[in-house]
Amino acid sequence: MPDIRPYAPESAITTSRKVQIVIYPGFKCMEAVGPVNVFTAANRYLAAASHPARYDVELIAPTPGPVQSESFLTLTAERALADATPEDTVMIAGALDIEEALRGNPQIVDWCRRHATQARRFASLCTGTFFLAEAGLLDGRRATTHWSVAARLQQAYPDVRVEADAIFLREDNLYTSAGVTAAIDLALAFVEQDFGRDLALSVARDMVIYLKRPGGQSQFSAVLTGQAQVRSGIADIRTWIHANLERKLQTGDLAQRAGMSERNFVRQFTRDVGQNPSDYVMNARCERATTLLLETGLPVKTIAHRVGFSSDDQMRKVFNRKFSLTPREYRERFSTAA
């Protein structure tokens, strides 16, 4: 275990922090186990540094005792939901069949409605966002969820401003997160809020995962999204795009390289990849640019040239539109100090 230097948290924390994770029959196991592992690892580092604070993690459920997850694993809830009052941080797990979970657990919705304002941080994980939306807590607010149900969330709750491309979002004391492992990102962000970036980074290293940057980052990787399609011609073009981002990459030139008419190429690319070629190229440029901003000290103008933007001014405009941040602001906000 690496040495841990003294922390400089946003506010000095000397007492334990209560984290209550809400589970119910059919919950996604990873969304409870992931955060538990993060807070448990944080406690080990805190103890090693002789820090007085700890995370006190508690599983709660409508009915206490063994609770079957969506897998064959069962976790034990220590307390009934009706007997629990938020003390600091609440995290509500999602479910594969979230509509069934809503029908079967109306008490969770009511509990959210009555207690959300009492917690310092009240968070939903993945499809757990539906509980907050059903309680009316997200009306007029931004929220995210698993990408596969984002459209359903928006349709069911039109007053919610659904942003499907976020890892997690914060609105006052309410947090919503994307699919499954985003629960780990959110838990790491909570550790960083409480005890600083050094502890969060140490926990991430201990778990052999990346320290995900807080909020505002695309949930979708253009590379991974492209891998989902199966037509070899489009796959080859996608690979070539990522290897040649410094070029102009006009749609007509890509169609010619694929041996198709431009109209047919656009139709097939959009069908297979889920976005048109122009949007895909722009997202790929942004993805590469964010990597270079966070992992190198290259000037913004150099990065803009390397990823194919016509100028750093064009990259700034695209970043403002996509992230509501300039490239420099993005670097300052999300860079992780080793």
Length of the chain: 338
Instruction: Pick the range with the lowest mean pLDDT from 127-131, 162-166, 295-299.
Output: 162-166
- Displacement of CA 155 from its chain's centroid (Å): 21
CB 205 within 8 A of CB 147: no
- Return mean pLDDT, the chain: 87
Cβ pair 26, 70 in contact under 8 A: yes
Beta carbons of 266 and 276 less than 8 angstroms apart:
yes
Q: What percent of the chain has pLDDT over 90?
A: 64
Closest CA to 68 of 25, 22, 128: 25
State the pairing for strand pair 89-92/74-77.
Answer: unpaired
SS (H, E, C) the chain: CCCCCCCCCCCCCCCCEEEEEECCCCECHHHHHHHHHHHHHHHHHHHHCCCCCCEEEEEEECCCEEEEECCCCEEEECEEHHHCCCCCEEEECCECCHHHHHHHCHHHHHHHHHHHHHCCEEEECHHHHHHHHHCCCCCCCEECCCHHHHHHHHHHCCCCEECCCECEEEECCEEEECCCCHHHHHHHHHHHHHHCHHHHHHHHHHCCCCCCCCCCCECCCHHHHHHCCCCHHHHHHHHHHHHCCCCCCCHHHHHHHHCCCHHHHHHHHHHHHCCCHHHHHHHHHHHHHHHHHHHCCCCHHHHHHHCCCCCHHHHHHHHHHHHCCCHHHHHHHHCCCC
Q: Are strands 74-77 and 17-22 parallel, antiparallel or unpaired?
A: unpaired
pLDDT category of residue 231 using cuts at 50, 70 and 90: low
Residue 132 reports pLDDT greater than 60:
yes
- Mean pLDDT throughout 78-83? 97
pLDDT at 272 over 70: yes
171, 156 Cβ separation under 8 angstroms: no
Give Cα 185 distance to the centre of its chain.
Answer: 6
The average pLDDT across 165-193 equals 90
Task: Place 296 in a pLDDT band, splitting at 50, 70 and 90.
Answer: confident
> Residue holding tokens 């440029």?
285
* The pLDDT of residue 6: 39
Among 27, 25, 23, 21, smallest CA distance to 40 is for: 21
Q: Which residue(s) pair with 68 in the sheet?
A: 74
Q: Which amino acid is at 83?
A: D
Contact 174, 122 (CB under 8 A): yes
Q: How confident is the model at residue 333 (pLDDT cuts 50, 70, 90)?
A: confident
Digit-coded pLDDT (tens) for 134-144? 999 999 999 99
Q: Does position 303 have pLDDT exceeding 80, yes or no? A: yes
User: Exposed, middle or buried by CB within 10 Å (0-12, 13-18, 19+), for 140?
Assistant: exposed
Stated pTM of the model = 0.67
Average confidence (pLDDT) over 32-59: 95
Q: Dihedral of the CA atoms 73, 1, 42, 211 (nearest 10)?
A: -90
